[in-house]
Amino acid sequence: MTTTGVVAHLVLVALLGYLAWLTPVLSARSVRFGVRVPDDRIEDPVVRRETARFRTSVLAAAGVIAVSGAGLILTAGIAVLPVAVLATLVVWYLLYLRANRVITAAKREQAWYAGVRQGIAVDTSLRNDPPRFPWPWLLLPVLVVAATAVVGVLRYPGLPDTLPVHFSGGTADRFAPKSVGSAFGIVFVQAVLTVVLCVSGVLVFRGPADVDPARPAASARAHRKFVARLGRALIGLATLIDLGLFAAAWATWETSPDAGLLLPLTIGPVAVGVALLVAVTARRHRDREPGEHTGLSHRDDDGLWIGGVLYRNPDDPSWFVARRFGVGWTVNIGNRVALVTCLALTAAVVLLGLFLPYIIH
């Protein structure tokens, strides 16, 4: 049974480590580790050195976490998956922050923006002629959730009086009385995640574009292509997560105490969905015309970002802006209305997930 836990641990750490390793390419062309750099400094020796150091450190840290976690699972049977995920994320950000500080210092000491012509470009056509959202694609995750619910309804009369609600090493170690909450809890999780991801897909099409003033025409076209691919990728991720959760629901409905061996099937679809998002994001800044260049560089706006991650600009009415790296947008914490609204929605989702089983039961 511990083999299942080791495999799940190694797959998840490898996935997170790979995502971290891709950090340098999951950002705008003129942003390196959260630092805005002028057009002629994108391949600066400092940037190349920090990129190599970051990637080497990420691989080394992921290796240590993977080996040590697998050893603990095999020798002590300790469930280290949450700790491994947290450790990987913490190391990822610390290494990111170190690169951010080093590049920021070099940028300041060497006056990278001295004499550079800065500019801002805006694609006004996004209001008059926005990209079309692929509404028919929403049927995919909806059908998976509906199918899971139907299977659950058909199996519910024949389920035993107690159902497994937690597995360790593939074996059920926690049970709950048969009820709508214990039998269909995963279905409700499916529904909530589907709504969140699909709404995120809709918001992608309404989000502002970070147009490169050096290549405004090409970057505007690239943005349209990107949001179209990203919207479909988010819907695809929702579908794949729902398929994985179907395997988790089936494990709950099985009467065998070893049904938890099905749980690794939840990881595969999620990994494929995340890989799809990464592939879409990595292509984000490749759609450029080599001959187009206005001679301008993106304005130096590092002062509006905290640690290269959090955006704070009280003078900007926008609720969301494009992330410095990764997929999607981040909230403008300088906009109090946006911040309070997002915190309230997040708290509502968390509370719903915590108390929904008890309310239904």
pLDDT of 54 strictly over 90: yes
Say what the pTM is.
Answer: 0.71
Write down the pLDDT at residue 106: 94
Rounded distance between C-alpha atoms, residue 320 and residue 313, angstroms:
11
Strand-pair category, 35-36 with 310-311: unpaired
Q: Given the structure tokens 């995120």, which residue do they identify?
A: 200
Rounded distance between C-alpha atoms, residue 331 and residue 313, angstroms:
10
SS3 at position 163: strand
Write down the pLDDT at residue 349: 64
- For the chain, the residue count is 361
Beta strands of 169-247 (E only): which ranges?
171-177
Q: Is 76 exposed, middle or buried, given 0-12, 13-18 or 19+ CB atoms closer than 10 A? A: exposed
Write down the pLDDT at residue 269: 82
More confident residue, 259 or 87: 87
What DSSP string runs through 272-310? HHHHHHHHHHHTTTT---TT---S-EE---GGGEETTTE
Rounded distance between C-alpha atoms, residue 100 and residue 47, angstroms:
10
- pLDDT-derived band at 104 (thresholds 50, 70, 90) equals very high
- Residue-wise pLDDT tens digits, 154-206: 888 887 777 766 665 556 666 777 777 777 888 888 888 888 877 777 777 77
Q: Which of 321, 145, 101, 159 is nearest to 238 (CA)?
A: 145
Interaxial angle between packed helices 336-360 and 180-206, expressed in degrees from 0 to 180 and rounded to the nearest 10: 160
Percent of the chain with pLDDT over 90: 14
Mean pLDDT value across the chain: 79
- Residue-wise pLDDT tens digits, 320-357: 777 777 656 778 888 887 778 777 777 766 666 555 54
